Amino acid sequence: MLTRLLLARHGQSVSNAVRRFQGVQDVPLSEIGVRQAEALGAALGRRRLAAIYTSPLQRARRTAEIVAAGLGVAVVSVEALRELSLGEWEGRTVEEIQALPGDPYARWVRDPVAGLPPGGEPLPDVQARVVGALEAIVAAHPNGAEVLVVCHGGVISAFLAHCLGLSLSAIWRVTLSNGSLTEVAPPRVLSVNDTAHLDGLDAPGAAALSP
């Protein structure tokens, strides 16, 4: 049986709430983000998780800790699951980037490989570290185990592109909401952006285009 990865995007952060790029900035969950994490934990209480892994950034780590609290499963931090760096855009809002000459935000949405923010992490590098980390997790939990991985929109998108054989230029074509679940039994993608458990907690401003 194939190992099943439950890829959860972290709950809404205080930066997501105002459409501010965060990248590798370490910002906390918003109040809505905490409630999304609690809803995610309640939904996952019906699953038999073999392990929980998380990005070290606190918005993901705190989401994982809230989920784990009711499951009795330890949380393991993996550095390679951190979000992609957005360089000079970090700490600025979407509207601020759109107002720059030539609208670099629109260029980045169309082609995030060619439209890389100044000082940002190249997407091929992001994908290489993410795929390596998730393949190692799968290898550590064989025989149909279910493993929760709490991470980021950019991380999940890069892995989906790998599984589906898509160009990295297309990764923003999939919406990944805060608190959503995407299920993959590599290389098979089983479901994407499941938010049924959020029950109205889907938050505006939590678009996948604001890592």
CA-closest candidate to residue 61, choices 45, 46, 74, 48: 74
The average pLDDT across 198-205 equals: 72
Q: Is 197 a catalytic residue?
A: no
- Active-site pick, 10, 141, 162, 197: 10
- Active-site pick, 141, 152, 162, 197: 152
The average pLDDT across 94-114 equals: 95
Q: Please, are residues 13 and 28 in contact by the beta-carbon 8 Å criterion?
A: yes
Residues 6+ apart with CB under 8 A from 110: none
CA-closest candidate to residue 154, choices 122, 184, 132: 122
pTM of the model: 0.95
Question: Is residue 88 scored above 60 in pLDDT?
Answer: yes
pLDDT at 211: 55
Taking each helix axis from N to C end, the angle separating 153-164 and 123-140, rounded to the nearest 10 degrees, works out to 80
pLDDT at 201: 82
Strand order in the sheet with 146-151: 75-77, 49-54, 146-151, 4-9, 181-185, 188-194
Residue 51 identity (one-letter amino acid)? A
The average pLDDT across 144-149 equals: 97
CA-closest candidate to residue 24, choices 186, 152, 156, 180: 152
Query: What is the band of 199 on the pLDDT scale with cuts at 50, 70, 90?
Result: confident
pLDDT at 46: 87
Which pLDDT tens digit goes with each residue over 44-85? Answer: 998 999 999 999 999 999 999 999 998 989 999 999 999 999
Three-state SS letters, the chain:
CCCEEEEEECCCECCHHHCECCCCCCCCECHHHHHHHHHHHHHHCCCCEEEEEECCCHHHHHHHHHHHHCCCCCEEECHHHCCCCCHHHCCCEHHHHHCCCCCHHHHHHHCCCCCCCCCCCCHHHHHHHHHHHHHHHHHHCCCCCEEEEEECHHHHHHHHHHHHCCCHHHHHHCCCCCCCEEEEECCEEEEEEECHHHCCCCCCCCCCCCC
Domains plus CATH for the chain? 4-198 (3.40.50.1240)
Q: Is 152 a catalytic residue?
A: yes
Q: Is 10 exposed, middle or buried (0-12, 13-18, 19+ CB in 10 A)?
A: buried
Query: What is the band of 1 on the pLDDT scale with cuts at 50, 70, 90?
Result: confident
